[in-house]
Structure 1
Amino acid sequence: MSNILFIVEGAKDEPKYIEQFIQYHKEVMEKNGNHVSPIIVQSYGTLIYDLYRKISSYKMDDEFETIPVLLELLKSKSIAYDAELDDYEKFSDIFLFFDLDAHYYCKRKDRNEILCESMNDLLSFFNESTEKGKLLISYPMFEALKCFNDDFINESNVTLHSFNIYEVEKKGSSTTFKQKYKCISSDCYNNPDYSNEKIEKLVQYFIYGSMHLVENEANITNSESIFINQFEKFIKPNEQVVILSSFPHFIVDIFGIEKYVDDMKRKVYLKDISEHP
């Protein structure tokens, strides 16, 4: 039996929230009469840039395998790991869920350029789940998942939100993302016990958000295309991103958009959550 590996950044919140998406994936697969592969969740414990920097010395190796290298890194950091990873040949797919974490470069004068270069390298490297893994990014960070209110979608309109990527964790600032998203988020999305209905609303919202960026249904789940459009349309001119979560991205990557959205012709409004009190 083949397994699926989820590599997540955090050790606490991410595993709690992603468990609901794993259960949803299982239920939909069973409903469709498909085989359900076990999903193993492994926390890496720090930024995607750290992971990439540490594997960069291996990446030109044609025999590169993500899981053995990951195990080596986890052991070197004394991070506990699931015993299933020791038999890495049992894994058919790998998904990496990480934050954009642009504030990693916030003190650099060329921060936009180095962010673009780093993300392009990462997304071109982790671009296929059945090979080295597929990287799915939360913009600007994990809490994007909670940045949702049912009123954001109605029969004719969709309200998307943006945020400055370098204000995410700025010390002494009243505009950090963790402070501001709560101004527009519904309390029920701060609780990790998501119902199927909540998950499907978040998936629908991801589809509209991604479509607003890529403007082509074929690229809705293309991580590289999403980032390129975030960079060209929002980061480069304004140092902002459209807020998107990587967890619904996985669901759309597996099941497509037809189950969730039958009409893309809705007026899209974009608001900056920094403007909220």
Structure 2
Amino acid sequence: MMNKEKTLFIFEGVKTEDRLVEKLERNFLGDRHAIKCVFDAEIYQLYRIIKGEKEFSIDIVSVLKERTAENAKILKDYNRDSFAYIYLFFDYDAHSTLADDDKVREMLSFFNDETGEGMLYISYPMVEAIRHFKDLESFKSLRVKCKRRNCPYKDECHDKDECLKEPHYKSVAATDSKPQLSNVNSYTEDVWRELITAHLCKANDLVNDTFTLPATLISQEAIFSKQFEKHICHKCPEVAVLSAFPLYVLDYFGCVRTIAKLNPCYTNIHAISTPVTDLH
């Protein structure tokens, strides 16, 4: 019988997410030896597969085996019961031709238990959000447009043509960030502390209106609800730039242990708490 403590990570993309988690494990989480697979498609395509199943249920391990020969090889000795925990990491990807905010809500409601169907984590707008960072003060208010041709207000927007000419978010994140963040392989433990601190403070600000490390866990459903309320459902739809991976760290360690691991950066935040708070 398989070890019931095994963990399965499911990534949207082939390279970036896997590499991020590998470095995050090495520098912050500790070696976990999780099994890692790639869905290799957007969250909305996963939604279509799930909706094709009876009563909105799915054996995600079987789905992965059927998608690629590589997944079939990795998972050949495993089934759903082999894994105690399943985590999915996907992008919001609101520019996708299949994008639909109601689908995101359904997916977050369905994938809300890592010991059941799995726990879904979403990066806004994409996985590159983890590196889109210069400093705490500018990151707090950092937002980007997210719908592009899917914008429901595009026909009444005077800046539509210019908006559609704006560079892809991957290019924006690459140029509008610290140069040393360009290569995730070079991220040290201190870099991870800084990035995790920034994203957790921002998630807390988004949901609880306070730019500090959270005192309670923050659900993915709460994050999407506030993204929609504060940024997405406006005349020019945006999202607050926010990576899924620091939220996974928070869930993994819990608030007290996370703050303890982030202690150097946490102290720095309190040292500059007045100007940061004033930006709110």
TM-score (norm 1): 0.78
CA deviations on 1:146-197 (whole Å, 9 max, x unpaired) are: 1012x325xxx86331000024999962342122223320122111222111
Q: Which has more strand, going by share of residues?
A: 1
| Counterpart residue type for residue 83 of structure 1 | I
State the partner residue of 1:164.
145
Contact 1:4 1:93 in 2 (8 A): yes
State the partner residue of 2:157.
none
- Inter-partner Cα distance in structure 1 for 2:22 and 2:14: 13
State the partner residue of 1:126.
111
State the partner residue of 1:11.
14
- Inter-partner Cα distance in structure 2 for 1:14 and 1:242: 20
Question: CA 1:53/1:233 → structure 2, altered by over 3 Å: closer, same or farther?
Answer: same
Unaligned runs of 5+ in 1: 28-35, 107-113, 271-277
| Residue 65 (structure 2) pairs with residue 71 (structure 1) | yes
**Alignment RMSD:** 2.9
| Residue 172 (structure 2) pairs with residue 180 (structure 1) | yes
Question: CA 1:127/1:66 → structure 2, altered by over 3 Å: closer, same or farther?
Answer: same
- Inter-partner Cα distance in structure 1 for 2:27 and 2:201: 20
* Aligned partner of 2:25 among 4, 8, 22: 22
Question: CA 1:267/1:81 → structure 2, altered by over 3 Å: closer, same or farther?
Answer: farther
TM-score (norm 2): 0.77
State the partner residue of 1:83.
74
| Counterpart residue type for residue 23 of structure 2 | Q
Contact 1:144 1:244 in 2 (8 A): yes
SS of aligned partner of 1:137: strand
Question: CA 1:4/1:268 → structure 2, altered by over 3 Å: closer, same or farther?
Answer: farther
| Residue 95 (structure 2) pairs with residue 97 (structure 1) | no
SS of aligned partner of 1:103: coil
| Counterpart residue type for residue 56 of structure 1 | K
Contact 1:164 1:240 in 2 (8 A): yes
Question: CA 1:230/1:86 → structure 2, altered by over 3 Å: closer, same or farther?
Answer: same
- Inter-partner Cα distance in structure 1 for 2:195 and 2:19: 16
Q: Percent identity?
A: 28
| Counterpart residue type for residue 206 of structure 1 | H
Say how many residue pairs are matched. 247
- Inter-partner Cα distance in structure 1 for 2:139 and 2:15: 31
Q: Which has more helix, going by share of residues?
A: 2
State the partner residue of 2:198.
205
Deviation at 1:221, TM superposition (A): 3.0
Unaligned runs of 5+ in 2: 151-160
- Inter-partner Cα distance in structure 1 for 2:149 and 2:253: 31
State the partner residue of 2:127.
142
| Counterpart residue type for residue 11 of structure 1 | V
| Counterpart residue type for residue 26 of structure 2 | Q
| Counterpart residue type for residue 7 of structure 1 | I
* Aligned partner of 1:57 among 52, 55, 65: 52
SS of aligned partner of 1:86: coil
Deviation at 1:67, TM superposition (A): 1.4
More RCO (CA 8 Å, sep 6+): 1
- Inter-partner Cα distance in structure 2 for 1:163 and 1:129: 30
